[in-house]
Amino acid sequence: MTNRRFHSAKQIRADVRSSIITGPTTGMAEGYTQANVVILKKEFAFDFLLFCQRNPKACPILEVTNPGEFLIKRTAENADIRTDVPAYRIYEDGVYSKEVDNIVNYWEDDMVAFLLGCSFTFETALMENNIPIRHIEENANVPMYQTNISCDRTEAFSGPLVVSMRPMTAQNAIRATQITSRFPDVHGSPVHIGTPEEIGISDIYSPDFGDPPIIKDGELPVFWACGVTPQAVAMNSKPPLMITHAPGCMFVSDIKDQTLSVL
């Protein structure tokens, strides 16, 4: 299997477009920001953009296209949102109907694409600061939990905040808070540290999504707002048509992770 860690984002997108890459993009094009994708018809676009604005930790916006424009202009060059994601999921009236490798035949003239920041970027920054990321060490999926924290709702969109969890020492939790605070466009600082029950998580070893965690003695669970939130919320509101990336199959942008640092 080709190691694509040192490929450019552009090369990755070309291989996605020609269906050489059809699965998860984890670990590809190191240093380039990957994005969650949500596509909705214009009718829902104001409400969803407002939802993102009100819930910036869960839904940090990297780019929003003009209605009907399928070319990505701000975060990548020569990118087409209809073909440059390895796998898409189609939701009709909030129900997952199928997975496809491009959406050329689904694209409509009034569709708006939202590219949202993803935790891959801050995990890279944490690892570069010698903070080990357990699920990456274990080659597992990050554990994710539905919380008792309600997102700030809009007319059409509402739902609970979904968080991801990374166990670490107290010292690393402090350093990780500093580091991720510098990256508001990829979820930013943690939303909670320790005491899972306070945010409605009754069993930390039974995540709602992803794999059960391994938590070592002396480690605290540290929780970040998760990019699954906007998809879950959008699904909740049952728009007639919504298209997202398939889990782990992200849009690889030309943005270098480090340029997202605010300080």
Nearer to its own copies, 95 or 263 (CB): 263
Adjacent-strand bridge partners of 153: none
Q: Is 171 helix (H, G, I), strand (E, B) or coil?
A: helix
Output the six-digit token pair for 54.
Answer: 């009100």
Size of the site for its own copies (CB under 8 A): 20
Binder of its own copies out of 34, 83, 121, 154 (CB under 8 A): 154
CB of 81 to its own copies, least distance (A): 16
Rounded Cα distance between 27 and 4, Å, is 8
CB of 183 to its own copies, least distance (A): 11
Q: Which stretch binds its own copies (CB under 8 A): 29-37, 148-156, 208-216, 218-226?
A: 148-156
Nearer to its own copies, 52 or 168 (CB): 52
Rounded Cα distance between 164 and 177, Å, is 14
Return the exposure string of 94-124: e unless at least 16 CB atoms fall within 10 Å of the residue's CB, then b.
eeeeeeebbbeeebeeebbbbbbbbbbbbbb
Q: Does 247 bind its own copies (CB under 8 A)?
A: no
Q: Give me the 103-142 binding string for its own copies, x by CB under 8 A, dash otherwise.
A: ----------------------------------------
Q: Does 64 bind its own copies (CB under 8 A)?
A: yes
CB of 50 to its own copies, least distance (A): 6
Which residues in the 70-89 window bind its own copies by CB under 8 A?
Answer: 74
Q: What angle do CA 221, 171, 215 make, to 5 degrees?
A: 30
Rounded Cα distance between 195 and 20, Å, is 44
Output the six-digit token pair for 228.
Answer: 């699954």
| Interface with its own copies (CB under 8 A) | 42, 45-46, 49-50, 53-54, 61, 64, 66-67, 74, 152, 154-155, 181-182, 184, 262-263
